[in-house]
Structure 1
Amino acid sequence: MLPTTTARVSGVTSDAANHRIAQRIEESVRYHAAHPERIGKRLRDLDAEWDIERTLAANAATLALTGTLLGAFVNKRWLALPAVVTGFLLQHAVQGWCPPLQIFRSRGVRTASEIDQERYALKVLRGDFARDGAEPSTAAEHAEAALRAVRA
């Protein structure tokens, strides 16, 4: 059975890389709970952040184009590069895994869902969504409430 779209990348990523990415999200939310005046800038940064799909697509396109040009103008053997790259891209589309994925994930490149998790937690902190129940009294409680809201 094929993995779901939202779980296919994290499912083939090492536990250590997934943990570092989750920690980064939690640290950002906790930091911004204590510094709410910086949330707007962080949200703009998140809008500009490349997710793993965009990163892999740009990487594959660059390698395929390079291989095609080298194959056309230098040596036809270079045409093997775009063939291999497109095969890996197909493998990623189906299984969620390809060789560069581990490199990018270990460097902290996140999925769109992971970026959205941080984005929505920050929006909760900023008060973009209605809250029910008692208002958190400390920045730490505020951060925990925001993280719970986006994990539900």
Structure 2
Amino acid sequence: MADLPATNKRVKKHTKEEINLEVKEQIQQNVDYYKNKSPEEISGRLEELDQEWDTERVLEANAASLVIAGSILGATVSRKWNILPGIVGGFLLQHALQGWCPPLSVIRRAGVRTEAEIQEEKNALKELRGDFH
């Protein structure tokens, strides 16, 4: 069996480097913006980050929506729609094993970050706020 990428690195590994760099630059810009802000303002940003959807959540929500829609259409319109949940299931399996599937490229280009990238910004902001002193 081929080596599978580590769970926390698989999405970044299969994302174009230019997109990974854009995400990293955005994180740095966000942190730089909060360097001279009050702890309360930083706390507000941390609360926003707690609500941010990561790549996994976006992928799962979209996949579930397509499975439900395909199942309903397959039961009510035409059995041909039953292929949609099968395709989506295949994409999810591919993503689980490799960390990549076709919709992921679109999700990343839309600026959706991984949980690790969100956590990176949170940790930097907590450092600014003085949580680790």
1:71-94 deviation digits (Å, cap 9, x = unpaired): 000000000000000000000000
Give the equivalent residue in structure 2 for 1:2: 4
Displacement of 1:10 in angstroms is 0.1
Q: What is the CA-CA distance between 1:41 and the residue it aligns to? A: 1.1
Residue 85 of structure 1: aligned partner: 88
> Cα RMSD over matched residues?
0.8
Question: Looking at CA atoms only, which structure, 1 or 2, has the larger radius of gyration?
Answer: 1
After superposition, give the CA deviation of every residue in 1:6-53 in whole Å (9 maximum; x if it has no partner).
Answer: 110000000111011101100011110022342111101000000000
Q: Which residue of 2 aligns with 1:104?
A: 107
Give the structure-1-normalised TM-score: 0.84
Residue 70 of structure 1 pairs with residue 61 of structure 2: no
What TM-score, normalized by structure 2, do the two folds share? Answer: 0.95
**Separation in structure 1 between the aligned mates of residue 36 and residue 129 of structure 2, nearest angstrom:** 11
Equivalences for residues 1-152 of structure 1 within 5 A: 1-36=3-38, 37-130=40-133
Matches of 1:100 and 1:31 in 2, distance apart? 31
Q: Which has the higher contact order (CA 8 A, sep 6+)?
A: 2
Secondary structure at the aligned position of 2:8 is classed as coil
Moved more, 62-71 or 34-43: 34-43
